Amino acid sequence: MAELRASGLWPTPRRIATLSVHTSPLEQPGTGDAGGMNVYIVEVSKRLAERDVEVEIFTRATSSELPPVVEMAPGVTVRHITAGPFEGLSKEELPSQLCAFTNGVLRAEAARPPGAYDLIHSHYWMSGQVGWLARERWGVPHVHTAHTLAKVKNRFIAAGDRPEPKARVIGEEQVITEADRLVANTRFEAQDLVSCYDADPTKLTVVQPGVDLGRFRPRSTRVADRRRLGLPERGYVVAFVGRIQPLKGPDVLIRALASEPLRDEDVTVVICGGPSGSGLDRPTSLIELASSLGVSHKVHFLAPQTGEALAALYRSADLVAVPSHNESFGLVALEAQACGTPVVAAAVGGLVTAVTDGVSGVLVDGHDPQDWARVLTGLLLAPAQRLRLSIGAVRHAKNFSWDRTADGLLRVYREAVAGHRALIEARLAGSFSW
């Protein structure tokens, strides 16, 4: 191992099997279970392919009309695996279909020449369970990224939200123990993996997510962007972007809008996203909350946006709010800052890394609506401070890119492949020792 590292001859995998059981990279982020993980897989896969590493993404088919294989980009394919009913299956019910999904993955590999994949990268714990078995059958290393952790989510659970089940906790513990390498989004997530799951620190590497700096960039088009999105051209705009569920805390923003001193200002709060997770239990809860607080006229709901429309939303806002109760990283915060919009975020999880307090935005301790109202009002009424934060936001976001993320993952992959080969060689040497 030391000789390989010194010589720079670490083996680069030719083809990677990426596992994303519960959500497809082809789905629209902000709807259902699609979110930052989808963006992560899409952006990283494209850049790995640009580095001559083929990526095949295995995900569950959610429609009978989906083709078995889709080319997402040159060198990147998505394989739809039939496992359970196409529609009406919640994420909580998916563990019952892991055997069927695993069977589909193993069949796909069996139809190819031996040694089709050099490495498995699983995303989220259910994919990790599949990767655990595929690793044993294929004899290749298994890299795992959790993205979120049940024990951490339960520790910071929002009021009224459902805790993560014990089955998930056990599943995560198994995957974290068995994976060859673990990738954490931030050093805080790495610490959680060690302290909460007793992860082996020698298997852990921090590789931070990135942002598409070509798409998300500052532009002097605020009035046109607001007009395009149907937002008021005058007054302040505070935007929330993400899945609508208690974990993300959009209710904190609406309650802040009804609290002093924010309620007396000319402010429109934009809620951009769709119901997800436990938010599906009451998909109209935010509409009802705004009505009960008398601020319906100041809340504008938008369907999830993509591409340039999403960048336009970030640029149209004076501030972007991320009041999540927990985030493994917080891609929304990074995208907004890349557009030059300061972020007000909860001081939790990966948001402490995604936002530099007092430089690119402001971190808020806790989720008290009055505290949020005071912070938001103070910034809205201080244009010079917002300008300073805007400049800092762009500078901060430039420290992150998907190219940097892909390069970091390639280093992990090479170490995993080299370590796996060294282990096999050691076992073979032991088998023939006399």
Annotated binding site for UDP-N-acetyl-alpha-D-glucosamine: 28-29, 36, 243, 248, 305, 327, 335
Q: How far apart are the first and last CA of the chain?
A: 24
Show binding-site residues for 1D-myo-inositol 3-phosphate: 22, 33-38, 91, 124, 148, 168
Q: Are strands 76-81 and 69-73 parallel, antiparallel or unpaired?
A: antiparallel
Q: How far is CA 315 from CA 226, 372, 382, in A?
A: 9, 21, 18
The number of angstroms, rounded, from the C-alpha of 165 to the middle of its chain's C-alpha atoms is 21
Q: What count of other Cβ atoms lies within 10 Å of the Cβ of residue 6?
A: 8
Numbered residues of the known binding site for Mg(2+): 314-315, 317, 341
Q: State the binding site.
A: 22, 28-29, 33-38, 91, 124, 148, 168, 243, 248, 305, 314-315, 317, 327, 335, 341
The closest alpha carbon to 256, from 279, 289, 281, belongs to 289
- What are the residues whose beta carbons fall under 8 Å from the beta carbon of 298, sequence distance 6 or more? 257, 267, 268, 269, 290
CA–CA dist 373, 329 (Å, integer): 24
- CA pair distance 110, 122, nearest whole angstrom: 19
Q: How many CB atoms lie within 10 A of CB 212?
A: 17
Q: Following CA atoms 381, 387, 388, 391 in sequence, which dihedral angle do they give, to the nearest 10 degrees?
A: 150
